[in-house]
Structure 1
Amino acid sequence: MREFRLYAITDERSHPGRELAEVMEEAILGGADIVQLRDKHSDREAVLEKAKRLRELTRRYDVPFIVNDYIDIALEVDADGIHLGQGDTPLPVARELVGGKIIGISTHAIEEALLAEQQGADYIGVGPVYPTATKAGAAPVTLSYVREVAEKIRIPFVAIGGIKLHNADEVIAAGATRICAVTEIVGNPDVRGTCEAFIRKLEQGGTAHGKYAQR
Structure 2
Amino acid sequence: MNSFVHAATDVWRWVDYIHIREKKLTLEQQIQWAQSLKKKGVPSNRIIMNGSDQLAKHGVFGGVHWGQAAIHSYDKELGRVDRLRVGVSVHSLEEAKVAEERGADYLFYGHVYASPSKPNCEPRGLASLAEVCTKVSIPVIAIGGIGTENIAAIRTAGAKGAAVISTIWTSNNPELAAASLRRAITNSQKYAEPGR
**TM-score relative to the length of structure 2:** 0.84
Matches of 1:210 and 1:197 in 2, distance apart?
Answer: 20
Unmatched runs of 5 consecutive residues or more in structure 1: 1-11, 13-17
1:28 is matched with 12
RMSD (Å) for aligned C-alpha atoms: 2.5
Q: What amino acid sits opposite 1:120 in the alignment?
A: G
Runs of 4+ residues over 4 Å off in structure 1: 55-58
2:82 is matched with 99
**Deviation readout 1:191-210 (Å, 9 max, x if unpaired):** 11111111111111112223
How many residue pairs align between the two structures? 193
1:185 is matched with 168
Residue 68 (str. 1) matches residue 37 (str. 2): no
Residue 81 (str. 1) matches residue 63 (str. 2): yes
User: How far apart are 1:99 and its partner, in Å?
Assistant: 2.0
Matches of 1:118 and 1:73 in 2, distance apart?
Answer: 22
Secondary structure class of the residue paired with 1:36: strand
Larger relative contact order (CA 8 Å, sep ≥ 6):
1
Query: Cα gap change, 1:74/1:65 in structure 2, threshold over 3 Å: closer, same or farther?
Result: farther
Residue 134 (str. 1) matches residue 122 (str. 2): no
Matches of 1:26 and 1:197 in 2, distance apart?
Answer: 13
**TM-score relative to the length of structure 1:** 0.78
Find 1:38's aligned residue among 5, 21, 30.
Answer: 21
User: How far apart are 1:150 and its partner, in Å?
Assistant: 2.6
Residue 52 (str. 1) matches residue 35 (str. 2): yes
**Deviation readout 1:2-42 (Å, 9 max, x if unpaired):** xxxxxxxxxx6xxxxx622110011113x101111011234
**Deviation readout 1:146-173 (Å, 9 max, x if unpaired):** 2112322211111111112233232223
Matches of 2:86 and 2:79 in 1, distance apart?
Answer: 11
Query: Cα gap change, 1:191/1:96 in structure 2, threshold over 3 Å: closer, same or farther?
Result: closer
Equivalences for residues 148-163 of structure 1 within 5 A: 148-163=131-146
Matches of 2:137 and 2:55 in 1, distance apart?
Answer: 29
Q: What amino acid sits opposite 1:153 in the alignment?
A: V
Among all aligned residue pairs of Structure 1 and Structure 2, give the percentage whose two residues are the same amino acid. Answer: 25
Unmatched runs of 5 consecutive residues or more in structure 2: none
Query: Cα gap change, 1:188/1:150 in structure 2, threshold over 3 Å: closer, same or farther?
Result: same
Query: Cα gap change, 1:79/1:63 in structure 2, threshold over 3 Å: closer, same or farther?
Result: closer
